[in-house]
Structure 1
């Protein structure tokens, strides 16, 4: 299996390399895998603080959403984490109001 990563993620100018790497790791996991900061930190050499900071970046950027829900039968609280490769309201770098391509050097493909 493999995960395809949109160029907008790979070239994201406001995310650290750690956040981009974490997002790729999260997108590669199967649904329901129960990935938490603690579990991911056990799998990588970066450490819990680094993973936690990267997760905060992804939440702020809209790639990760968390919702706390209470089971009506047991009363237990759970956190549901959703990961997406296209956060709500994100505009592609090629979606410009004037319909023109951005100026400047291009890397990695046709603009």
Structure 2
């Protein structure tokens, strides 16, 4: 991953509503949720939700698919894991079992 993509992805979730949307989609699993379900769950108006979904989609953190007249959104787990790997690839200068409760686990 290059730094420009990392910045784009991080900036897309550096906003309260978008972070909440992304987290609910991660929790929903690969089937995702309809836009209406996301809006209802988080109490976000449709027009505002659309803007946030566009930003997350543009960053590659979510995917969308149309089923009949509904659009379903799901987390892009590959992109999420790639971002996490990028952030931790040089964790603790390569020292094994560093950090709180060995959360980093460098290889």
TM-score bin, normalised by smaller chain: 0.5 to 0.7
Cα separation, 2, equivalents of 1:44 and 1:21: 8
How high is the TM-score relative to the length of structure 1?
0.51
- Counterparts in 2 of 1:19 and 1:60: CA distance versus 1, 3 Å: same
Task: Return the structure number with greater helix share.
Answer: 2
Question: Where in structure 2 are the equivalents of 1:3-14 lying within 5 Å?
Answer: 12-14=10-12
* Structure number with bigger Rg: 1
**Corresponding residue of 1:93:** 87
**Corresponding residue of 1:53:** 51
- Counterparts in 2 of 1:80 and 1:41: CA distance versus 1, 3 Å: closer
How high is the TM-score relative to the length of structure 2?
0.53
Superposition RMSD on alpha carbons, in Å?
3.8
Tell me how many residue pairs correspond in the alignment: 86
Greater RCO, 1 or 2 (C-alpha within 8 Å, sep 6+): 2
- Counterparts in 2 of 1:78 and 1:17: CA distance versus 1, 3 Å: closer
Structure 2 contact 35–71 (Cα < 8 Å) conserved: no
Q: CA deviation at 1:46?
A: 2.4
